[in-house]
Amino acid sequence: MGVSGLLAEAEPETDSGWIRCESCATLLYRKRFVRCLQVCPECGWHRRLTAEQRIDTLLDPGSAAVVAQVGQTVTDPLGFIDQLPYPERLSAAQAKTGLDAAVLCAVGTIGGHPVVLAVMDFRFMGGSLGVRAGERVTQAAEKALKDRIPLILVTASGGIRMQEGPLSLMQMPKTCQALAQLDEAGVLTVSVLTDPTYGGVTASFATLTDVILAEPRARIGFAGRRVIEQTVCQQLPEDFQTAESFLRHGLIDRVVPRSELRDVLLRLLAVQGPLPQAYPGTEPAENPSVRPAPERDAWQAVTLARHTGRPTTLDYISYLLEGFQELHGDRTCGDCPAMVAGVGRLNGLPLVVVGHQKGHTTGELIQRNFGMSSPQGYRKAARVMRLAAKWRIPVLTLIDTPGAAAGPEADNHGQAVAIAESQRLMAGLPVPIVAVVTGEGGSGGAVALGVADKVFACANAIYSVISPEGCAAILWGTQTAAPWAAAALGLDAERLLDLGVIDAVIPEPPGGAEGNHVAAAARLRTAVMAAFVELLRREPDQLVSQRRARFRRFGLPRAAQRD
């Protein structure tokens, strides 16, 4: 059964042809409102869509087909009666919506990429998760698993269906284990949380996907607002349980207006698919320089590495990657603007990029905490690197930080643990990893992103156990001795290469990377792409064993390293 055209058909004309926005009360011309995907052009209010309308807006025209469901489910396991017998409520919902459950599933394509969709319809008993709805979501996941194609879930629910009692509660673990099987198989999963998404749906499949998107102002939570207010006996903030609040607290990846949703999904779908050992159209490039140029003393290197004009991670991403999609949040308690993470394509090669983010102006530097990441930032980076392992795509890390964020808040949120866990994760990640020190490589905050198969440094970058000022204050008793400390610390690219800490130096254009971002990015692209072409020839076990052997050798005499 196709669903193309249902969006237009689902909004029949009234005599007036006008509707009133439920948020700002603006009078809207119905035809224009439908063309705007039922989003108010004045205030951005997103009207709820039916399951059929949602499928029609997301899938390519003519590609959608409703998935035929097989097998029977129980309909009234408890013989439940409140003001009406449950079967009567169920029949009324079916007559009202034309659906037999709160979930409709379809297969189709988005930009030519095959997908499975499972869409909830709030009209059907508040989108509550009952036995049949849980079965639909599970069958959609099984279809995605069988065909090895992405699963997209669109949620709108008040929670678990009470009338089906414990059996409806069991739909939570049932759907969770279906998502776990997709994780094990490396199949991309995305959820789109729409208004409202509550209760057992939020606490099961809706928040277990690789990427979580939400529509603007969608209400999201576990317990409802009124229940919480009655429990805590206080009025909650106006933006409590909104999509925007969830984004700030690191619980979702993006808030996406309906008009942009297809484009965002397309970018995510572009990272799927097996990678060949030698990527088409890319030949191994000449290796980066073995010596930095021009020669300089260590303190000059420090000064150049800190230059505010040097390209940031987001600058490099804008020059290097196609279709970059930034992801947000550690899925626990927050996000960190000093750490950027996301997916994109480098010369067509899908990969995950993670990097410290500074800025060029005083305002940007303050907003990004001068590139000093919080524990939430390192946990976000780890979460996205785990996605790279699941999707079997390479990882590129860009290191540029004076060090990790310090202070009571960072320590209370587990800064040391987050840095340690990042190193452990990267050591065992079964995909190629290339790390580039593009500016400052400060202590543990830098090495947390530096456990890689290939580690490069830009010619004017530094990589150090401590800042020269910190070293001078501790050992010389004054920060004025920082230039001497810099020389002693072995932090410039030439010494790093001699010590074997880095594998090669990426030359910078005349005047340094700060003087020519485009040329600097081109040189970084050449080095990184050559490394990935080489690393993609290795099996996952070989990558991990050789990476671990690389770091095992540090500190041993050269002769011992060769044994």
Residue 315 has pLDDT above 80, yes or no: yes
Residue 11 has pLDDT above 80, yes or no: no
487-511 pLDDT, tens digit per residue, is 999 999 999 999 999 999 999 999 8
**Contacts of residue 394, Cβ cutoff 8 Å, sequence gap at least 6:** 275, 349, 351, 352, 388, 431, 432, 433, 434, 532, 535, 536
Confidence of residue 5 (pLDDT cuts 50, 70, 90): very low
0.85 exceeded by pTM:
yes
Per the DSSP assignment, residues forming a β-bridge with 414 are: none
Confidence of residue 397 (pLDDT cuts 50, 70, 90): very high
User: Is the distance from CB of 400 to CB of 308 less than 8 angstroms?
Assistant: no
Segment 161-176 mean pLDDT: 96
Tokens representing residue 305 in the block: 């590495």
Residue 430 has pLDDT above 70, yes or no: yes
Q: Which amino acid, one-letter code, is at 241?
A: Q
**Contacts of residue 496, Cβ cutoff 8 Å, sequence gap at least 6:** 457, 463, 490, 502
User: Is the distance from CB of 196 to CB of 224 less than 8 angstroms?
Assistant: no
Q: pLDDT value at position 289? A: 52
Percent of the chain with pLDDT over 90: 82
Domains in the chain (CATH in brackets) are: 48-269 (3.90.226.10), 298-562 (3.90.226.10)
Strand 433-442 to strand 454-458: parallel, antiparallel, or no bridges (unpaired)?
parallel
Residue 558 has pLDDT above 80, yes or no: no
139-158 pLDDT, tens digit per residue, is 999 999 999 999 999 999 99
Residue 286 has pLDDT above 60, yes or no: no
- Burial degree of 423 (CB within 10 A; 0-12, 13-18, 19+): middle
Residue 278 has pLDDT above 70, yes or no: no
**Contacts of residue 393, Cβ cutoff 8 Å, sequence gap at least 6:** 271, 275, 343, 350, 351, 352, 431
Confidence of residue 559 (pLDDT cuts 50, 70, 90): low
Q: pLDDT value at position 231? A: 85
Q: pLDDT value at position 16? A: 67
Other C-beta atoms closer than 10 Å to the C-beta of 527 total 24
Residue 70 has pLDDT above 60, yes or no: no
Listed range (91-100, 240-249, 295-304) with the worst mean pLDDT:
295-304
